[in-house]
Amino acid sequence: MGGLNAGCRPQRGVMNRSLSSKIAVLALVVFALGTASANAKVRQKKKNKVFNLNKNPMAAVKSEQPDLILYNKAMQQMKKGHYDVARLDLQTLLNTYPDSEYRMQAKLAVGDTWYKEGGAADLVQAEAEYKDFITFFPNSPEAAAAQMKIADIYYDQMEKPDRDPTYAQEAEQAYRQMIEQYPDSPLIPRAKQRLRNVQEVLAQREMDIGEYYESVDNYNAAIARLETVAERYPLFSQSDEVLIDIGDCWADEAQQMQKATAMPGAAREQMIADYENRAAAAYDKVVTKYPMSPHVEDARDRLIAMDRPVPVPSQSAIAESDAQERSRQPLHFTTTLFGMIKHGPTTVEAVHVGNPSLTDPPRVLATDINAQNLALYKQAMQPYMPTQHSAAMAATPTPANEPPVSGRPSAAPLAQGNMGTGTGVGVSIVRTPASTAAANPNALVQSVGPKNTVLPPVQKPSEAPMQVNDIKPGEVPTSSAIVNYNKKVKAPKANLHYESSSKKKKKRGLHKLNPF
């Protein structure tokens, strides 16, 4: 048995080796087939990448049209970032093939080349190209995309809330125009969200200005700015704070009115009550319109401190406010840090639900708030103002020759006696004789004074004495005042004793020896 078993062992090893070789050959065949199939797939993908033009719906498969060749070449250059080369190909297509079916896409792509370059001058040129496209193709679906690009140009250049708001205002108008003109465009949701972001920035700017006026106690200007924010931007993330600030301004106005001790007490109390009512109305609006806002408890506390009832919000208001708060993204530390570094504003807190306002109500001005305060003052002081009857009595004078009444002037007294001799008050009237009453008929203005200008003998001044002429006829006056300019007169020598004692003047004669 031992020999038999020993003879069988080599045969089993041979069988095992043959089996393992077969398995190895089978594995090699499977690996070769897998590699061949993988290479076939790779080749098939490369083949599809070369000849499949489905990514460009405006291009026909394996078409050899020259305008299509130019268009595809321009698209390839745009992908590589060669915008100037792509723009040259597109302009060649537009100028060479004015009736091409790719003319509209080429015109829009020219604006895209300027837009993707991103410079300030490039963006201005891109806006002009997009506006030209809308002018030439106003009813095409791509017109909405062109208007969207115009709004995006301003959106990308938008500044922070404390900087110039020009780009933000232009972007707001552009997005509104896009939403109103192309309501069926698939780009409407994106345009609405961009518009919410822009209005978030504009509302933040107005709120910052209003809070500054409040800090310097200019309550009328602060209320005007804050009410503008509340009316124009109801989706603002800090609308609850805006309404609370409005209420605080009116409450501060009431405190200032308590110091006006010069006013009557009843009038002062009435104005204080009016200011407090306006403050309570602002706090009520926070509770009823934004019941899920972060600062709604502050509004409730202020109402309780004023002994005012706290309103109960409706279920629809609660649902709407909750949806708005849930749609906002939280403001993290990294967001704030990068917001300080980057150029544009941070709009992560902007709401993502609700329709943004498409029209702006009239702006509230500080003069409007002043007019409201003046109306409240006149209403409070109405009982203390003089009535029309007393004003009429003060304006009507008392009759003539009657004792005066307090607050009413008296009329002039009537003349007594002969009007030709006097007025009864010591003034006599001089009658003009008929002989001197004649006047110049050609004069424009006739004299109204007395024509008799001859003074009475008592008031006539005395006549001046006759002048005596001492010079007889034929004599020449010998007065020293007459100077003969024809005769040369030698000037007298100067008296050195009376001349100036200037040190610079040279001394003459014996005075040179005087050391003093």
Q: Is 307 left (phi over 0), alpha (psi -120 to 50) or beta?
A: left
The pLDDT score that the predictor gives to residue 480 is 44
Residue at 304 is within a domain: yes
Residue at 25 is within a domain: no
The pLDDT score that the predictor gives to residue 144 is 94
Q: Tell me how far apart the alpha carbons of residues 115 and 124 are, in angstroms, rounded to a whole number.
A: 9
Q: Which of 333, 323, 325, 319 is nearest to 349 (CA)?
A: 325
Q: Tell me how far apart the alpha carbons of residues 45 and 52 are, in angstroms, rounded to a whole number.
A: 10
CA torsion, ordered 288, 315, 199, 349, to nearest 10 deg: 100
Return all residues near 97 (Cβ < 8 A) that are at least 6 apart. 66, 67, 70, 103
The pLDDT score that the predictor gives to residue 10 is 44
Residue at 156 is within a domain: no
Residue 336 to residues 157, 194, 235, 332, 346: CA-CA distances in angstroms?
A: 19, 20, 21, 6, 8
DSSP string, 109-149: HHHHHHHHH--HHHHHHHHHHHHHHHHH-TTSTHHHHHHHH
The pLDDT score that the predictor gives to residue 384 is 83
Query: For residue 51, what is the enclosing H or E element?
Result: helix 2-51
Where b means 16+ CB within 10 Å and e means fewer, 457-475 reads eeeeeeeeeeeeeeeeeee
Query: By the 8 A CB rule, do 420 and 412 touch?
Result: no
Q: Report the number of distinct structural domains present in the chain.
A: 1
The pLDDT score that the predictor gives to residue 418 is 47
| Residue 355: domain span | 180-376
Query: By the 8 A CB rule, do 222 and 245 touch?
Result: yes
Length, in residues, of the chain: 516
Determine whether 394 is exposed, middle or buried from the number of CB atoms within 10 Å of its CB (0-12, 13-18, 19+): middle
The pLDDT score that the predictor gives to residue 64 is 62
∠ CA 171-173-179, nearest 5°, is 100
Residue at 302 is within a domain: yes
Q: Which of 412, 404, 407 is nearest to 393 (CA)?
A: 407
Return all residues near 100 (Cβ < 8 A) that are at least 6 apart. 67, 93, 106
Q: Is 354 left (phi over 0), alpha (psi -120 to 50) or beta?
A: left
Residue at 487 is within a domain: no
Residue at 446 is within a domain: no
Q: Tell me how far apart the alpha carbons of residues 235 and 325 are, in angstroms, rounded to a whole number.
A: 10
**DSSP-assigned letter for residue 496:** G
176, amino acid identity: R
Structure tokens at 146: 């062109």
SS3 (DSSP) at 409: coil
The pLDDT score that the predictor gives to residue 490 is 53
199, amino acid identity: Q
Residue at 64 is within a domain: no
User: Going residue by residue through the chain (516 aa), what tens digit of pLDDT does each one get?
Assistant: 444 444 444 444 444 556 666 676 676 666 666 665 555 554 544 444 444 544 555 554 555 688 889 999 999 999 999 999 999 999 999 999 988 889 999 999 999 999 999 888 999 999 999 999 999 999 898 999 999 999 999 999 999 999 999 999 999 999 999 999 999 999 999 999 999 999 999 999 999 999 999 999 999 999 999 999 999 999 999 999 999 999 999 999 999 999 888 888 899 999 999 999 999 999 999 999 999 999 999 999 999 999 999 999 999 999 999 999 999 887 776 766 666 677 788 888 899 999 999 999 999 999 999 999 999 889 888 888 776 544 444 556 656 556 665 545 555 555 444 444 444 444 444 444 444 444 555 555 555 555 555 555 555 556 665 655 555 555 544 444 444 444 444 555 545 444 444 455 555 555 555 555
Q: Tell me how far apart the alpha carbons of residues 12 and 445 are, in angstroms, rounded to a whole number.
A: 160
What 122-130 contacts at long range (C-beta under 8 Å, 24+ apart), as own/partner pairs, is 123/153, 123/156, 123/157, 126/153, 127/153
Structure tokens at 263: 């006013």
Residue at 411 is within a domain: no
What pTM did the predictor assign?
Answer: 0.63
